[in-house]
Amino acid sequence: MRFLVATAVPAERDAVARALPGTAREVRLPGGTLHQVAGPHTYDLLAAGVGPARAAASTAAALTAAALDGSPYALVVSAGIAGGLRPAAPVGSLVVADEITAADLGAETAEGFLPVTELGFGTVSHRPPETLVREVTAATGAPSGTVLTVSTVTGTETRADALRARHPRALAEAMEGFGVAEAAAAHRVPVLEVRAVSNPVGPRDRAAWRVGDALAALTEGFGKLAPALESWNPHEP
Ligand SMILES: O=C(O)c1cccc(C(=O)CC[C@H]2O[C@@H](n3cnc4c(=O)[nH]cnc43)[C@H](O)[C@@H]2O)c1
Residue nearest to atom 4 of ligand 1 (CA): 211
Residue 237 lies in a domain: no
Note the pLDDT of residue 137.
98
Q: How much is the pLDDT for 31?
A: 86
Judge whether 219 lies within some domain. Answer: yes
> What pLDDT digit, counting tens, does each position of 87-106 carry?
999 999 999 999 999 999 99
- Is residue 236, in this structure, part of any structural domain at all? no
Q: Domain total for the chain? A: 1
Q: What is the pLDDT of residue 44?
A: 98
Of the pLDDT bands very low, low, confident and very high (cuts 50, 70, 90), residue 128 is very high
**237 pLDDT higher than 90:** no
- Domain contains 100: yes
Q: Encode pLDDT of 2-57 as tens digits.
A: 999 999 999 999 999 999 999 999 999 998 999 999 999 999 999 999 999 999 99
Q: Separation of 111 CA from ligand 1 center, angstroms? A: 31
Assess contact for 170 and 85: CB atoms under 8 A.
Answer: yes
Neighbour tally for 156: CB within 10 Å:
12
pLDDT confidence band for 236 (50 / 70 / 90) = confident
Which residue's alpha carbon is nearest to atom 30 within ligand 1?
Answer: 211
237 Cα: distance to centroid of ligand 1 (angstroms): 31
Q: Which atom of ligand 1 is nearest to the CA of 201?
A: 21
40: domain CATH number is: 3.40.50.1580
Question: Is any atom of ligand 1 closer than 6 Å to the C-beta of 7?
Answer: no
Q: Which domain holds residue 209?
A: 2-231
Give CA–CA dist 31/6, Å, rounded: 13
ipTM value: 0.94
**pLDDT tens, residue by residue, 140-152:** 999 999 999 999 9
Is residue 95 one of the residues assigned to a domain? yes
State pLDDT tens for residues 131-182: 999 999 999 999 999 999 999 999 999 999 999 999 999 999 999 999 999 9
Is 87 within the bounds of a domain? yes
| 86 — pLDDT class (breaks 50, 70, 90) | very high
- Beta carbons of 95 and 147 less than 8 angstroms apart: yes
* Atom from ligand 1 closest to the CA of residue 174: 24
The pLDDT, as a whole number, for residue 150 is 98
Nearest-angstrom CA–CA distance, 172 and 211? 15
Is 135 part of a structural domain of the chain?
yes
User: What's the whole-number mean pLDDT along residues 197-204?
Assistant: 97
The DSSP line for 79-109 is EEEEEEPTTTS-TT-EEEEEEEEETT-EEEE
Is residue 188 in a domain?
A: yes
Q: Does ligand 1 have an atom closer than 6 angstroms to the CB of 29?
A: no
